[in-house]
Amino acid sequence: MSFTRARTLISRSLKPLPYYAPQVYRTFTTTRPRLSPSSPSSSPSPSPPKQQSVSPLAPIGVAAALDPTVTPTPKIFDEFSLRDRVCIVSGAGRGLGLEMALALCEAGARVVYCFDLPKEPSGEWETVREYVRRMGGGGGGKGGGGRLEYVCADVRDQEGMWRKAKDVGDREGRMDVCVAAAGVLGGHVDCLVYPKEQFEAVMDVNANGVLYTAQAAGQQMDHAWVPYNTSKSAVIQMARSMACELGTRNIRVNSLSPGHIYTQMTAAYLDTQPRLLEKWSSLNPMGRIGRSDELRGVVVWLASDASSFCTGSDILVSGGHHAW
């Protein structure tokens, strides 16, 4: 039984800036026609294609290197910066969701709203919030540092999620990143006799909850919104469909599929079944299960402009679980 869990991450890229970066165009041909003296001169070369998109950090990369007026400055870390971005992460009261929320803060987010079911945040969450506060200038928010905020929310409540995301949008004046990380495992039951009620409970969180969370955040990014393994496959296709509908609005939608990761949720299985860790570890070429901190880099990449041409993709962080 695999516990690979897909999550949806939607983000809004900065609007393209007017083009001014120098470009180099190359034309490749496989044959050169031989012209006779009487042949008319060849037609002029076609104009280079119209520039469709430009990085907000332009000129950047090789284009910057070829521009003699540009002062050499490294920009790769600026591409990953989430300075002043406003984020929502569901299921962020603990585990992977909290790890992702902290990573977004470290990358410069102004604020990360942690949506989770308990009425009050856990002691672990409070400790992480204090850590973010003490990090101070590590964040990019107004006032010198990013911050974590806790919101009691049920991802199964569509209208409630819409309302609470709107409160965030109204308070902050923007919405930039959403990570739909809330999920449940359900009991270990033979699929041939899996209870209907239990299956619906898993789907309600892992599929419906992802849609409602993405809708809630997406409405604040663009106000003209369009109407365990089984549920996560639905999430992946949902993310692809949303990416197709929202691409022209500069909203990117991707899914993230972690492999076996040791968290408080999976510990309920691993700590009570001694041989299970060995079994799960043998299911990927790296021979071990993952750590929650190993999701940090890819989450920040997807949320940042460094992934500005990535949408409709499922990113695997599974130790090669899908490679064999």
**48-52, 116-120, 298-302: segment of lowest average pLDDT:** 48-52
pLDDT at 157: 97
Domains contained in the chain, number: 1
**Amino acid of residue 59:** P
In a domain, 46, yes or no: no
Could you read off the pLDDT of 209-249 as tens digits, one per residue?
999 999 999 999 864 334 466 666 778 888 898 899 999 99
Strand bridging mode 251-258 / 7-12: antiparallel
Q: Nearest 5°: phi and psi at 170?
A: -65, -40
In a domain, 19, yes or no: no
Tokens of 101: 């929320």
pLDDT at 312: 95
**Interval 251-275 mean pLDDT:** 88
pLDDT at 101: 96
**Interval 300-314 mean pLDDT:** 93
In a domain, 57, yes or no: no
In a domain, 29, yes or no: no
Could you read off the pLDDT of 84-94 as tens digits, one per residue?
899 999 999 99
pLDDT at 243: 93
**Interval 37-50 mean pLDDT:** 56
How many Å apart are CA 149 and CA 141, to the nearest integer? 13
Beta-bridged to residue 255, according to DSSP, are: 8, 314
* Look-up of token digits 């920009």: 75
Confidence of residue 14 (pLDDT cuts 50, 70, 90): low
Could you read off the pLDDT of 189-201 as tens digits, one per residue?
877 888 999 999 9
Confidence of residue 51 (pLDDT cuts 50, 70, 90): low
Tokens of 287: 């021979």
Name which residue leads in pLDDT, 39 or 284: 284
Whether the bond between 74 and the residue before it is cis, its omega within 30 degrees of 0, is no
In a domain, 24, yes or no: no
The CB density around residue 165, as the number of other CB atoms within 10 Å, is 27
**Amino acid of residue 209:** G
Share of the chain above pLDDT 90, in %: 50
**Amino acid of residue 105:** C
In a domain, 272, yes or no: yes
How many Å apart are CA 192 and CA 205, to the nearest integer? 21
Report which of 93, 85, 216 is spatially closest to residue 152, judged by C-alpha positions: 93
Confidence of residue 42 (pLDDT cuts 50, 70, 90): low
Could you read off the pLDDT of 146-186 as tens digits, one per residue?
899 999 999 999 999 999 999 999 889 889 999 999 998 88
pLDDT at 221: 85
**Interval 81-105 mean pLDDT:** 94
Contacts of 159 (CB under 8 A, 6+ apart): none
Tokens of 192: 């041939």
Confidence of residue 145 (pLDDT cuts 50, 70, 90): low
Q: Does the structure show a pLDDT above 60 at 15?
A: no
pLDDT at 229: 61
Name which residue leads in pLDDT, 141 or 298: 298
Name which residue leads in pLDDT, 2 or 311: 311
CATH number at residue 170: 3.40.50.720
How high is the mean pLDDT of the chain? 81
> Dihedral angle at the C-alpha atoms of 309, 314, 318, 319, nearest 10 degrees?
-40
Determine the 3-state secondary structure of 163 from DSSP. Answer: helix
In a domain, 70, yes or no: no
In a domain, 67, yes or no: no
**Interval 281-304 mean pLDDT:** 91
Domain that residue 100 falls in: 7-14+77-323
Q: Taking the CA of residue 90 as centre, how many other CA atoms within 13 Å lie in the half-sphere pointing to its CB?
A: 34
